[in-house]
Structure 1
Amino acid sequence: MIQIGLLVLLVTALVVGPKYYPSIFAKPIQNYRKYFGTTPPSTPSSSRKSSYSSNEPLAPPTPLMITPEQVKNYDDRPWRPFRWPYHQTMSIFRLEMNHWLDMDKYYWRYIQEKKRIWMKYGRENIDWLPEGYEPSVELMQMVTDHMLTRYPLLFTLVEDRGEGGKIVYNEMTEETLDMTMPLKEHPLLYVSNMAKEDFYIVMKNPKDDLHYLVAAAVPFPGGSFGIHEKIGRHLDVIHEGVPYYKEKLKRSMERWFERLTPNDPVERASWYISWDHKLKLNNVYQLPKFNPNIEADIKSMDPKDFNIRVERQTLRKLPKSGAVIFTNHPIFYSIEEMKDEPLIPSLLRKILYEGPEDILKYKNFELFRDHIAGYLDELIQRQKDKGLISDDTPLKTIPSYPFAHWAKTDFDFVNGWNNPSPSYSKEGSNYTEKAKMEKYAEND
Structure 2
Amino acid sequence: MDLIPFQYLGLAALVVTVYLALRVRWKHAGRNDNAPIDNKGGDDSSPASKSIWHANKEQGEEDVLRDPKPLLDFDLKTAKTRDYIYVNKTLRYPYYQTMAHQPMEIENWIEITSDYEWYLSEKKKVIESEPVYQGKKVLDSLPENDFACQELMETVIDWLPKRYPTLFDRLLRAQDEGSYDGIFNRVTGERFEWLEGHAPDGCKALTIISRLTECDFLMAREREDGHVYFTGGLVAFPGFYLLSEKIDKPMAVVHAPVPQFNEKLLMSVERTLKRMLPSAPFERSSWEIVDDLNLYWHNIALLPAGGKVSVDPGDLYLRIDRQTFRKLPKSRGIIFGVHPLVRKLESLRRSPLLPALLHKIHTESSRDLMVYKGAEAYEAALGPWLEEAMREQVESGLIGGTENVGDFREYAGQERDE
- If the TM-score is normalised by the length of the shorter chain, which range does it land in? 0.7 to 0.9
Structure 1: gaps of 5 or more residues: 1-43, 407-418, 424-444
Q: Distance in 2 between matches of 1:161 and 1:285?
A: 50
Closer, same or farther: CA 324–344 of 1 in aligned 2, 3 Å: same
User: Does residue 86 of the first structure (1) align with residue 111 of the second (2)?
Assistant: no
Q: Distance in 2 between matches of 1:59 and 1:233?
A: 33
How big is the shift at 1:253? 3.9
Alpha-carbon RMSD across the aligned residues, in angstroms, is 2.4
Q: Distance in 2 between matches of 1:89 and 1:209?
A: 22
User: Does residue 368 of the first structure (1) align with residue 396 of the second (2)?
Assistant: no
Amino acid at match of 2:302: Q
Larger mean CA deviation between 53-62 and 230-239 belongs to 53-62
- Give 1:196's match in structure 2, choosing from 190, 197, 214: 214
User: Does residue 124 of the first structure (1) align with residue 117 of the second (2)?
Assistant: no
TM-score (norm 1): 0.75
Residue in structure 1 matched with residue 234 of structure 2 by the alignment: 217
Structure 2: gaps of 5 or more residues: 1-36, 42-48
Residue in structure 2 matched with residue 35 of structure 1 by the alignment: none
% same residue? 31
- Give 1:113's match in structure 2, choosing from 115, 122, 129: 122
TM-score (norm 2): 0.79
Question: SS at the partner of 1:61?
Answer: coil
8 Å CA contact 2:150–2:200 kept in 1: the answer is: no
- Give 1:77's match in structure 2, choosing from 76, 79, 82: 82
State which structure, 1 or 2, has the greater radius of gyration over its C-alpha atoms. 2
8 Å CA contact 1:50–1:92 kept in 2: the answer is: no
8 Å CA contact 2:393–2:399 kept in 1: the answer is: yes
User: Does residue 205 of the first structure (1) align with residue 211 of the second (2)?
Assistant: no
Closer, same or farther: CA 165–326 of 1 in aligned 2, 3 Å: farther
Amino acid at match of 1:91: A
Q: Distance in 1 between matches of 2:330 and 2:342?
A: 35
Closer, same or farther: CA 330–236 of 1 in aligned 2, 3 Å: same
Q: Distance in 2 between matches of 1:160 and 1:190?
A: 19
Question: SS at the partner of 1:281?
Answer: coil
Q: How does 1:159-178 map to 2 (within 5 A)?
A: 159-160=172-173, 166-178=181-193
The one-character-per-residue Cα deviations of 1:155-202 (angstroms, maximum 9, x if unpaired) are 112335699652211111111122442539611111111111111111
User: Does residue 60 of the first structure (1) align with residue 70 of the second (2)?
Assistant: no
The number of aligned residues is: 355
- Give 1:258's match in structure 2, choosing from 274, 282, 298: 274
The one-character-per-residue Cα deviations of 1:357-406 (angstroms, maximum 9, x if unpaired) are 11101111121111122221221111101222123222324245xxx712
Closer, same or farther: CA 78–161 of 1 in aligned 2, 3 Å: farther
Q: Distance in 2 between matches of 1:388 and 1:374?
A: 19
How big is the shift at 1:84? 0.8
Closer, same or farther: CA 61–111 of 1 in aligned 2, 3 Å: same
Q: Distance in 2 between matches of 1:395 and 1:135?
A: 43
Q: Distance in 1 between matches of 2:312 and 2:73?
A: 36
Q: Distance in 1 between matches of 2:249 and 2:341?
A: 28
8 Å CA contact 1:66–1:151 kept in 2: the answer is: no
Higher relative contact order (CA 8 A, sep 6+): 1
How big is the shift at 1:45? 4.4
